[in-house]
Structure 1
Amino acid sequence: MQDTSLRVALLFGGQSGEHEVSVNSAKSVLQAIDRGKYGVETVWIAQNGRWYWGITPDQVLKQGVGASAPGEFGRDGVQVTLVHDPENPHFMALDRRELPNGGRVNLVFPVLHGPFGEDGTLQGLLEMANLPYVGSGVLGSALGMDKDRMKAVFAQAGLPLAHYLTFLRAEIRRDAEGCIHRIAENLGFPCFVKPANLGSSVGISKAHDNLELRRSLELAAIYDRKIVVEENIRGREIEVSVLGNDEARASLPGEILPAREFYDYEAKYQDSASRLLIPAPLSPALQADLQATAVKAFRAVDASGLGRVDFFVTADDKIVLNEINTMPGFTQISMYAKLWEATGIPYGELVDRLITLGLERFRDTRNRKIARV
């Protein structure tokens, strides 16, 4: 009997510092996806950027995320590339061996975080190949990754933000003292220093004085050519998940109680003392305001499919929008999924809805003319 199920390529790993987060996210998706409804192929992107068909998240976790060659996985895995033929998009083995179904899939589920996965570059690749995929498109992904441009769009939409300044790496190296003076004068201490294009709090520091600020700027400049510095907001850390395309909806809000001074990479993924309160203890009016603002932020950057919107809520219940993540951590215990579970959508159903939304968005974006003929 011919397999008539919709074929999904689960794309995971990647070159960013969030490689391991991606592998764990993909493991959860692979465990939860309905195999009666979907045929699933796994494609792992090693940290050197090479793509391998047939290697599973469990194999990567067992071998170690630093693995970079199929030989390290025994006889499993074959290096592949994506063929950009809009009439016949497919994966092709570089050694010319035959892939299942000729390497053709109906949709790509890119469970990738950070640069070259969540920033619009991969999305552009899939658009050129004429392949449907889960999540935001090129613009939404790019704006969701670049904290400077994201904030500019949020400000233009009239959304509440903390004060911030943006610097180029060359500017910092040319006149570090001048940059430090501007930050101290306009934002004060403490302040947060962030690479503009990175996730999972990698490269982020909280600076309390000029010396820490200089070190923080130097650290952030390792990770990006553009650095965002934000004023410190004293408030509760609240997150809201968003699901949908044109008719997006927001989940119940959740609150983070970080084990460290701020919710850095270690507090997110390594320190079990960090706690999540779901739902967050909020008044009905404040909850509704957060949900409405989350959807506005989602629309402002032209996101689609999924997004997690992060806020601060001050002691007087003022909302400050921090950022949106267009491909947030996606394990079953990640905040994004747990918020939807509390709102009434279990993880397996969430995976199914995202695939449906990806196909819906593909049909909608292809329903246009891009030439006069």
Structure 2
Amino acid sequence: MRIKLFVLYGGKSVEHEVSLKTALTVIQSIDASKFEVIPIYITREGLWCSPVKLSRPALQISNLIVEPGLTSAAQSIGDVLVNQLSAEGKKVVLPLLHGSNGEDGTVQGLLELLNIPYVGNGVLSSALTLDKAVSKQVLAEAGIRQTEYRIFRLEQWLDDETGVLDQVQEELGFPCYVKPASLGSSIGISRCGNSRQLAKGMKEAYRYDNKIVIEREVAGREIQVAVMGNEKPLVSLPGEFIHDHIFFDFESKYLDKQLAMSIPAQIPENFIEEIRRTALRAYQTLCCSGLARVDFFLNGEGQLYLNEINALPGFTSSSMYPVMWEKTDGTRYSELIEKLIDYAFMRHAEKQTIQYTR
């Protein structure tokens, strides 16, 4: 009997298109002899719907997009729960939802209530890792080195724009980076070299979140490492993208055809070990499980700074996360998905041992 694999993708998020690309690759790569893939598309408005049976050989992103038959989010979710997720047999959910309303613990909470195994991080770790402001504060408490940063809420900006701009210039200086607190794929991020650019960058970031993070720039290389597992996680060899962009923005990440990977990253062995050790520590500090990609900066003086943890990293066949695993231990893309599904079942089984009555 094949395992029912429910693939959630799309979502009410500005990273909707990134999710579609991830879902396309995953669905095409799943071993059909082991899994019955049941796609569930979530529209930009948050409506849930299931496409008709997909033909994998000719599958395109356009085939994954469905016009919903219902206009209420509650009704559409209820329809999927009754007609799809309540099916008998062994099942697991694979959330491929990048950004808000999916990567932030909301969908994970629903799946916890349904007591259905799901791939990836749980409620707490999903919420922590997506919120850059909170995750930075937790990592700082653990003594993990990060670049200097400040957090500003929208109310602070609206009350005193000049005061906020002066504070950033005095305490962080230029260049600095402005980021929405809870978003990925470099959307809404600006590199600012002066007060005028800073004001513009903050207004842009506040379009996507009412809380933003501003960081002092670290001049150096960005090194990434993949982590996988639950209680005893594994850490890959580190990798880096070779590029000449000053700011590695959305277009650079997804549209630059000249982008090249270096795995393992060409850095001294002592840095490789420090990166892997710190990544593991950060992963466990934020209560992660399943998977995450941990990003670092390595400056010219040999100092390592943790940049951020991504609980649902890019997951196409050419994304850094799966490629790092293939370069580390030979794990192929389809095998990696199956390992992550195994971790989901293991975590779910462990939770069933918890007693909820006295």
> TM-score band, normalised by the shorter chain?
over 0.9
Structure 2 counterpart of 1:184:
169
Residue 22 in 1 paired to residue 19 in 2? yes
Q: Which segments of 5 or more consecutive residues in structure 1 lack a partner in the other structure?
A: 72-78, 84-89, 94-98
Query: Do the aligned partners of residues 165 and 309 (structure 1) sit closer, same or farther apart at CA in structure 2, a change above 3 Å counting?
Result: same
SS in 2 for 1:183: helix
Structure 2 counterpart of 1:256:
241
Q: Quick one: which of 205, 209, 225 aligns to 1:240?
A: 225
Q: TM-score scaled by structure 2?
A: 0.92
Structure-1 separation of matches of 2:76 and 2:141: 42
- Following superposition, the deviation at residue 169 of structure 1 comes to 0.7
8 Å CA contact 1:259, 1:267 repeated in 2: no
- Following superposition, the deviation at residue 8 of structure 1 comes to 0.9
Q: Quick one: which of 323, 344, 347 aligns to 1:358?
A: 344
Residue 173 in 1 paired to residue 158 in 2? yes
Q: Quick one: which of 4, 9, 18 aligns to 1:7?
A: 4
Structure 1 counterpart of 2:42:
45
- Following superposition, the deviation at residue 273 of structure 1 comes to 2.7
Structure-2 separation of matches of 1:327 and 1:362: 19
Structure 2 counterpart of 1:201:
186
Structure-2 separation of matches of 1:167 and 1:362: 37
Note the 1:1-373 alignment, pairs <5 A. 4-54=1-51, 61-62=61-62, 69-70=67-68, 80-82=76-78, 91-93=81-83, 102=87, 106-344=91-329, 345-372=331-358
- Following superposition, the deviation at residue 129 of structure 1 comes to 1.1
Structure-1 separation of matches of 2:332 and 2:66: 34
Query: Do the aligned partners of residues 70 and 259 (structure 1) sit closer, same or farther apart at CA in structure 2, a change above 3 Å counting?
Result: farther
8 Å CA contact 2:191, 2:201 repeated in 1: yes
8 Å CA contact 1:8, 1:106 repeated in 2: yes
- Following superposition, the deviation at residue 173 of structure 1 comes to 1.2
Structure-2 separation of matches of 1:270 and 1:260: 13
Structure-2 separation of matches of 1:100 and 1:180: 49
Once the two structures are overlaid, the 10-residue window that deviates more, 104-113 or 324-333, is: 104-113
- Following superposition, the deviation at residue 371 of structure 1 comes to 3.5
Q: CA RMSD in A?
A: 2.0
Structure-2 separation of matches of 1:10 and 1:346: 20
Structure-2 separation of matches of 1:168 and 1:333: 36
Q: TM-score scaled by structure 1?
A: 0.89
- Following superposition, the deviation at residue 70 of structure 1 comes to 4.4
SS in 2 for 1:162: coil
Structure-2 separation of matches of 1:354 and 1:136: 11
Structure-1 separation of matches of 2:87 and 2:341: 22
8 Å CA contact 2:227, 2:280 repeated in 1: yes
8 Å CA contact 2:48, 2:68 repeated in 1: no
Q: How many residues align?
A: 349
Structure 1 counterpart of 2:72:
none
Structure-2 separation of matches of 1:68 and 1:180: 44
Q: Which segments of 5 or more consecutive residues in structure 2 lack a partner in the other structure?
A: 70-74
Letter in 1 for 2:239: G
SS in 2 for 1:16: coil
SS in 1 for 2:206: helix
Letter in 1 for 2:344: G
- Following superposition, the deviation at residue 59 of structure 1 comes to 6.3
